[in-house]
Chains A and B, each alone.
Chain A
Amino acid sequence: GAVVSQHPSWVICKSGTSVKIECRSLDFQATTMFWYRQFPKQSLMLMATSNEGSKATYEQGVEKDKFLINHASLTLSTLTVTSAHPEDSSFYICSAPPDTEAFFGQGTRLTVV
């Protein structure tokens, strides 16, 4: 099946710094990727849709200036959490749909201290 690779798998950063998370489709091209956030013991909530070559589409309540998304190529989307704060600590996970079945990255656990 299709493979989506996400990096890093975990990161600890200081409050106020920025963190970049990468999502790569390894064996297919993805014009669209999705970024989700999951708080402990909760479900996944869609944050934004990443579109290759154009601006990302953010879900209601997600700050686009805080969560910067860049989809510069057909195999790579990045999510940058800017000026991170402890409340941004969460599990971030991307997905890419080669067809109707979504394939997910391994996720990134972000801890802001």
Chain B
Amino acid sequence: SQQGEEDPQALSIQEGENATMNCSYKTSINNLQWYRQNSGRGLVHLILIRSNEREKHSGRLRVTLDTSKKSSSLLITASRAADTASYFCATAHTGTASKLTFGTGTRLQVTL
């Protein structure tokens, strides 16, 4: 399977703490994207990082990409209860436009 792997599978933190999720993939990419999914609902695009970028920020989100290690991390700072969701990384590979290969996902629970 070409599916990427994420760890941890589940993460439980308290509000205000930072949450870090990691994603590893197997083949060369054009870009890597992070998505959020609330239970039983559609996906919300969070951030896209291209293969020639190493770090990107968007609000409380920080994404890093290490193409030599074929890995990425998503950091959510100062987490809120509303951040509770599943987070997926997805890779787009060269020549396949937006055909995405999703990671296994991390279920984040933020408690008050």
Task: Give residues in B with beta carbon < 8 Å to A.
Answer: 3, 30-31, 33, 35, 40-43, 45, 48, 88, 90, 92, 97-105, 107
A43 touches B103 (CB 8 A): yes
**How many contacts A-B (CB < 8 Å)?**
63
**Which chain B residues border A84 with CB–CB below 8 Å?**
none
| Docked pose: A102 CA to B98 CA in angstroms | 6
Distance of A3 from chain B, by nearest CB (Å):
11
| Docked pose: A44 CA to B30 CA in angstroms | 19
| Docked pose: A105 CA to B31 CA in angstroms | 21
What is the interface residue range for chain A against chain B? Answer: 20 to 34
Name B101's contact: one of A42, A46, A91, A103 (CB within 8 Å): A46
Closest to B100 in A: A102
User: If the complex has contacts A43-B105, A44-B88, A107-B41, are A100 and B48 also in contact, measured as CB distance less than 8 A?
Assistant: yes
**Which chain B residues border A34 with CB–CB below 8 Å?**
98-100
A95 touches B100 (CB 8 A): yes
**Which chain A residues border B45 with CB–CB below 8 Å?**
101-104
Distance of B53 from chain A, by nearest CB (Å):
13
B30 touches A100 (CB 8 A): yes
Name A49's contact: one of B40, B90, B99 (CB within 8 Å): B99
**Which chain A residues border B99 with CB–CB below 8 Å?**
34, 46, 49
Closest to B96 in A: A49
A109 touches B40 (CB 8 A): yes
